[in-house]
Amino acid sequence: MKQSPKRTVTSKQVRRNQRVFGRTLLVIFTFALVLFIGRFSYIAIGKNVEHVNLSTQAKKLYTANHTLKAQRGTIYDASSQPIAEDTSTYSLYAVLDKNQRTIAGKPMYVTNKARAARVLSKYLPISDQKALAYLTPSNKKAFQVEFGAAGQNISLTTKEKIDQAHIHGLTFVQRQARLYPNGVFASHLIGNVTATAKGQLVGTMGIEGADNDLLKGVDGFKKVSQDNNGYQIPGSNQKARKPRNGDNVYTTLDSRLQTLLETQMSVLQDKTHSKTLNAVLMNAKTGAIVAATQRPTFDPQTGKGLNSVWRNTLIQDSYEPGSTMKVFTMAASIDSGNYNGNATYQSGRYEVGGRTVPDWNPGGWGTITYNKGFALSSNVAMAHLEQQMGAKTWKKYINRFKFLQPTGFGLPGEQSGGIAFNHTIDQADTAFGQGIQVTAIQMMQGLSAIGNNGKMLKPYLVRKIVDPNTGKVVKSYGKKEVGQPISAATAKAVRGHMQDVVYKKYGIGSDYKIKGIRIAAKTGTAQVSNGKSGYLSGDDSYLYSVAGMAPAKNPKYIMYITMKQPNLPGTETPTQLMADVFKPVMKRALQEDTSTANNQAADKMLSYVNRSTSGAKNDLTSRGYKVTVIGNGNHVLKQSPISGQVMMSHQRVILITGGTPKMPVLTGWSSSDVLRLGQMLGLNVKTDGNGFVTKQSIAVGKQVNESDKLTVHLK
Q: What gap in Å lies between CA 346 and CA 367, rounded to an integer?
A: 4
Residues facing residue 240 across a β-bridge = 222
Residue 22 makes CB contacts below 8 A (sequence gap 6+) with none
Type of residue numbered 667:
T
| CA 652/CA 624 separation, integer angstroms | 10
Which helix (DSSP H) or strand (DSSP E) does residue 712 occupy?
A: strand 709-714
DSSP states of 532-544 as a string? SSSB--STT-EEE
| H helix and E strand count, the chain | 20, 33
Q: How far apart are CA 217 and CA 209, in angstroms?
A: 14
Asked whether the beta carbons of 359 and 378 are under 8 A apart, the reply is yes
Task: Please provide the DSSP assignment of 39-73 as one string.
Answer: HHHHHHHH-EETTEEHHHHHHHHTEEEEEEPPPPP
Q: Are 639 and 653 within 8 A, CB to CB?
A: yes
Residue type (1 letter), 260: L
Helix or strand run (H / E) with residue 563:
strand 557-564
Output b/e per residue, 470-484; b: 16+ Cβ within 10 A. Answer: eeeeeeebeeeebbe
The count of C-alpha atoms lying within 13 angstroms of the C-alpha of 8, restricted to the half-sphere facing its C-beta, is 4
- Rounded to whole angstroms, the Cα distance separating 165 from 124 reads 14
Q: Which residues contact 225 (CB under 8 A, 6 or more apart)?
A: 62, 63, 232, 233, 236, 237, 238
* Length in residues, the chain: 715
**Listed residue (74, 82, 245, 86) closest to 179, CA to CA:** 86
From the number of C-beta atoms within 10 Å of its C-beta (0-12, 13-18, 19+), residue 600 rates as exposed
Do the strands 48-49 and 52-53 form a parallel or antiparallel pair, or are they unpaired?
antiparallel
Cα radius of gyration rounded to whole Å, the chain: 37
Question: Between the CA atoms of 533, 359, 446 and 315, what dihedral angle is there, to the nearest 10 degrees?
Answer: -40
With both helix axes pointing from N to C terminus, report the angle between 391-400 and 379-389 in degrees, rounded to the nearest 10.
100
Q: Quick check: 321 and 419 in contact, CB under 8 A?
A: no
- Residues taking part in catalysis: 323
